[in-house]
Amino acid sequence: MTAPEALRLEYIANFEYSYAIGKHATKFMAALRDDAKLYGISCPGCHDVLVPPRPVCGRCGVETDGWVEVGPRGTLTGYTVVEIPFIDPMTGVKRPVPYGFAFVKLNGASTNIYHFLSESRHDYLSVGMEVEAVFREERDGSLADIIHFSPVTP
Amino acid sequence: MSRSAAIVAVGQTKHAAKRLDVSIAEMVREAVDACLGSKELSFADIDAVVVGNMELFEGINQPELLMVASLGAVGKPVYKMNTGGTVGASAAICAEHLVRSGLHDVVLTVGYEKQSEGETQSAITTVGDPAWERSVMAGAIGNFAVMASTYVDRSGVTPEQAAKVAVKARTNACLNPYAHLQIADITVEDVLKSRVLAAPLKLLDMCPQSDGACAVVVAGEERARQITPRPSWIVSSATAHDQQFMGDSPARIADHRSLQAASKKAYAAAGITDPRTDFDVAEIYEPATYAELAMLENLGFCAPGDGGTLIDDGVTLIDGPMPVNPSGGVLATNPVGATALIRVAEAALQVMGEAEGGHQVPEVNWALATGYGGNAWTDVMVMTGEPR
């Protein structure tokens, strides 16, 4: 028995967006672009240093007040090697696999950020491993100015 | 004191990888018809409708427009939920609140998704802030894999223990006629040998992508008793948010703060003091095998770090002392906008004694359901069959 006819409409939707990253992200990205330096912002309530920097500490509900330099070294708090390709929504193209992907807690920060790793061999990675940001030569003020984090060899 | 609310009827589609034969509206109507038909209700009995899904998955904005007739909602209030992975449970909690408040008496609640109709891994990445996480995020799978690595580091949970969760889910699913991924002869070895997606997660450690819909009717106490002899009374529910950014939570699912906060609140309101003995069944939103074990720790079913022993000792098997996800869970069925409502619906079916196909747990009086989204948002609902 053949399945009854069921028609489908195929379509591609290309929409262009822009996003104001805000005062705090602008300050972070400008320092990253101009000086290859990374900053968090501290909470006067809990004294956590928050990366990404933001206007309010969510847990204390108070305004953050002090910029603190963090990194460029940090530790892996979680990691994987991605082996399944999918379309990067920032570019519309598939990211090549495999690649290391991790949470990095920058030295001096209380929170983690997601980024790529230079290492894509899973067995070479571990929680607690020391890593260091690798910066692009030509920087444009985006998170992509950090190419990836690379394990620090003792 | 607000009045009591209960789930009185449940309907689902047969969940599948692709429902090419029906439109979204037709698929939703299948679940609505099954739900109303199960208790001989009609649209005339429904006062309001709550509906939700992940809109960017299908790329259709304000999708309630195309399904307003299927929902029987013409001329009625429609409440729209859009809370990511939790959306189905958030819709159920919304319906509960509408009924408890006295604003509406009988509320139809619907969640659905057609994951086959969009680029869902990319769409899910758009939950990340464009300046920060979105530019590096690796879909849901990369995100869960990083979380799992932290949990493994903390707990020592092994790939074999995770694989046993995968086996439990897909064999339970064989007893649930509506489940998507039913694999009768699956073994731990099959899971361990399945393709690595993002270590430690292998193909069979992850939830599938499904097409499907779920519908639930929530009614006030008087109507609930008229509609069915054994309603599933909603004793308590709670919602908690956590961080702005994924990395704000120190250990993610290993130290799942929004699940801890929501369950603590819901347990306190329901008088639950020892969840492992107080509940007869749980339907939790486990997007991956490792997540089930971590979530059970955070829900208080065992001591922190002991999640692996629950599956090793058979505690959470369908015939174990504390069955978890007898329906097969998210690991078997995942039409995202419906997934958290399916947890609520399956828990209610267990309480009502109406779970079909052999996945009914005997003598369920207390049931737990959870919804999960992006690690930032958790819904918890406690239900009982004991008259309120």
Task: With a cut of 90, say whether residue B121 has pLDDT above it.
Answer: no
Q: What is the pTM of this model?
A: 0.97
Task: Please state the rounded mean pLDDT for residues B216-220.
Answer: 98
For the stretch B241-257, pLDDT in tens is 988 898 998 777 888 99
Q: What is the mean pLDDT of chain A?
A: 94
- C-alpha B265/C-alpha B236 separation (Å) is 9
Phi, psi of B363 (to 5 degrees): 50, 60
Average pLDDT over chain B, rounded to an integer:
95
The band of B125, judged by pLDDT with boundaries at 50, 70 and 90, is confident
- The shortest CB-CB distance from A80 to any of B134, B199, B245 is to B199
Residues A77, B201: C-beta atoms closer than 8 Å: no
Interface test with A, best of B114, B132, B242 (most A CBs within 10 A): B132
- Residue-wise pLDDT tens digits, A12-56: 888 889 999 999 999 999 999 999 999 999 999 999 999 999 999
Taking 70 as the threshold, does the pLDDT of residue B375 lie above it? no
Q: Indicate whether B173 pLDDT > 90.
A: yes
Where residue B388 falls among pLDDT bands split at 50, 70, 90? confident
Domains of chain B, earliest start first: 5-120+209-227 (3.40.47.10)
Residue A119 and residue A151: Cα distance in Å, rounded?
Answer: 7
CB pairs under 8 A between A and B: 127
Mean pLDDT of all residues in B174-181: 98
Task: Kindly list the residues from chain A whose CB atom is less than 8 angstroms away from the CB atom of residue B134.
Answer: 89-90
Which of B57, B248, B249 to mutate: most A Cβ within 10 Å? B248
Burial of B203 (0-12, 13-18, 19+ CB in 10 A): middle
Model ipTM?
A: 0.93
The confidence score (pLDDT) of residue B293 equals: 98
Tens digit of each residue's pLDDT (9 = 90 or more) over B81-92:
999 999 999 999
Q: What are the pLDDT digits (tens) for B303-361?
A: 999 999 999 999 999 999 999 999 999 999 999 999 999 999 999 999 999 999 999 99
CB B49 within 8 A of CB B105: no
Q: Which helix (H) or strand (E) holds B226?
A: helix B221-227
Average pLDDT over residues B182-191: 98
Three-class SS of chain A: CCCCCCCCCCCCCCCCCCCCCHHHHHHHHHHHHHHCCEEEEECCCCCCEECCCCCECCCCCCECCEEEEECCEEEEEEEEEECCCCECCCCCCECCCCEEEEEEEECCCCCCEEEEECCCCHHHCCCCCEEEEEECCCCCCCHHHEEEEEECCC
**Integer Cα distance of B291 and B294 in angstroms:** 5
DSSP code at position B2? P
Query: Cβ separation of A8 and B20 shorter than 8 Å?
Result: yes
Residue B36 has pLDDT above 90, yes or no: yes
Give the one of B20, B126, B141 whose C-beta lies nearest to A89's C-beta. B126
Q: If residue B215 lies in a helix (H) or strand (E), which one and from where to where?
A: strand B211-220
- The two structure tokens encoding residue B284: 């939790």
Kindly state the tokens that stand for B321. 């002392």
In chain B, the percentage of residues whose pLDDT exceeds 90 is 88
- Residues of A numbered 94-153 whose beta carbons fall under 8 angstroms of chain B's beta carbons: which are they? 95, 101-103, 105, 111-116, 122, 126-128, 142-144
> Do B366 and B322 form a contact (C-beta atoms < 8 A)?
no
Whether residue A1 is predicted with pLDDT greater than 70 in this model: the reply is no
Return d(Cα B203, Cα B155) in angstroms, integer.
22
pLDDT for res B123: 83
Q: What is the pLDDT at residue B89?
A: 98
Task: Find chain B residues with C-beta within 8 A of A88's C-beta.
Answer: 122, 125
Q: For A89-99, what is each residue's pLDDT tens digit?
A: 777 788 889 99
**Residue A143 in tokens:** 């998170």
Confidence of residue B183 (pLDDT cuts 50, 70, 90): very high
